[in-house]
Amino acid sequence: MNFLDKLCEGFKIVELVESKSDDQKRLEDIYSILTMDLPTECKFILENYEVVTIEIPSPKGYGVAISLLGTYTFLDNLRTLKEDYSIDITGDVIPIGSDLGELLYLYGTGNEGVGLYLAFDGDLDKNEYVKLADSISDFFCKGIGIDKLIWWSSWQRSRKKVIK
């Protein structure tokens, strides 16, 4: 059973784009930049897909979308993270996904130890991250932290309405 087969029932796969033949060079570049072991779930996505978009449907009429990064986007985000930010500021993290907007999903060692974190794109300070779960599997396969993500996302939406 692969990672996508293990996704918790709260997720719905809305887009899958398989890897291209030229992704092998990008994978080699990724592995040369990494400062940590790549989690099995990330390896599976990188080695098989260019795009995996999942959604947590909401009864309030909006869902939370998460785009798990394929080789091209992963490499671009990893380079930006490692070249533009100090590990002292960001922690030892890798980008694994985004909300197709301003939020990034990061995995690694942040302000609360190892885990899956939520961060604002452009504000990659480990002290500002929101920890969702202790591992990628806990979040995506067991659903641990989904309630925190949904609450946080709805809070952000209501905050934006007030600001406008």
| Residues 146 and 8 sit within 8 Å (Cβ to Cβ) | yes
The pLDDT-based confidence of 156 (bands split at 50, 70, 90) is low
**CB atoms closer than 10 angstroms to residue 46:** 23
In which domain, by residue range, is 79 found?
4-163
What mean pLDDT is reported for the chain? Answer: 85
Count of domains in the chain? 1
The pLDDT-based confidence of 164 (bands split at 50, 70, 90) is very low
The pLDDT-based confidence of 162 (bands split at 50, 70, 90) is very low
**Residue 67: pLDDT above 80?**
yes
Residue 156 vs residues 98, 120, 153, 161, 163: alpha-carbon distances, Å: 15, 11, 5, 9, 11
Cα Rg of the chain, angstroms:
15
CATH number at residue 36: 3.40.1580.10
pLDDT tens digits, one per residue of 9-43: 878 899 999 887 777 888 889 999 988 888 999 99
What local confidence, expressed as pLDDT, does residue 59 receive?
66
